[in-house]
Amino acid sequence: KQEVTQIPAALSVPEGENLVLNCSFTDSAIYNLQWFRQDPGKGLTSLLLIQSSQREQTSGRLNASLDKSSGRSTLYIAASQPGDSATYLCAVPNSGYSTLTFGKGTMLLVSP
Amino acid sequence: SAVISQKPSRDICQRGTSLTIQCQVDSQVTMMFWYRQQPGQSLTLIATANQGSEATYESGFVIDKFPISRPNLTFSTLTVSNMSPEDSSIYLCSVLGDREQFFGPGTRLTVL
């Protein structure tokens, strides 16, 4: 059974810092990995999707990397802003490819 | 991408009652899912809503407690029956797009 772990569970940084969120998964036979953002009490917003054939995917100040062989992904946020404060979740498809297993998330607080 | 709406956005209910949550998608999709997020936890899949047939439930979730309807390719409902305080959660509808999953804004349920 796939297990997804995210480290750290919480992170507090001053505005302007670059930061890295980590995600690891136990079954490396995945065909993609998604990073989501969740604001308190709200739904999920898809940030980045990395296919298994890709090593990196970028969107604005966000860069996600994927190393299937080691079962790891990182989300890099450049020049963090208070508006980046949210919980960041990574998720991988289960066998059958339609449903997702989620990590518990990293709660990020960026202070002005 | 798919645009997903949910109704209600939030509700406060009494123990023993039932609540039906609606999910509407702006395009026809084959795969629709219902997830639950208990306070402080990550997302857990409740079931896959199948069009024209009974939903497929994950271990720990049963049809009597969480009946699901999927009358067409753009709409689904999830009912939380005979509610108890342990059912207090965010309930999220999601759909599988071409390669990634999209989520609705969630329904925040509090059971007193």
Is there a contact between A46 and B92 if contact means CB atoms under 8 Å apart?
Answer: no
The position carrying tokens 């059974």 is A1
**Mean pLDDT, residues A73-81 taken together:** 97
Distance, in angstroms, between A18 CA and closest chain B CA? 25
Residue A96: its pLDDT value, please?
A: 66
Cα–Cα nearest to B44, from B27, B30, B58: B58
Query: Cis peptide before A8, with omega less than 30 degrees from 0?
Result: yes
pLDDT at site A46: 93
The answer for residues whose C-beta is within 8 angstroms of residue B76's C-beta and 6 or more apart is: B22, B23, B32, B34, B49, B68, B69, B70, B93
User: For residue B98, is it left (φ>0), alpha (ψ between -120 and 50) or beta?
Assistant: alpha
Q: From B48, which residue of chain A is nearest by alpha-carbon distance?
A: A99
Q: What is the 3-state secondary structure (H, E, C) of B1-26?
A: CCCEEEECCEEEECCCCCEEEEEEEC
The 10s digit of each residue's pLDDT in B15-43 is: 999 999 999 999 999 889 999 999 888 89
Q: Which residue has the higher pLDDT, A74 or A41?
A: A74
- Residue B94 near residue B102 (C-beta atoms within 8 A): yes
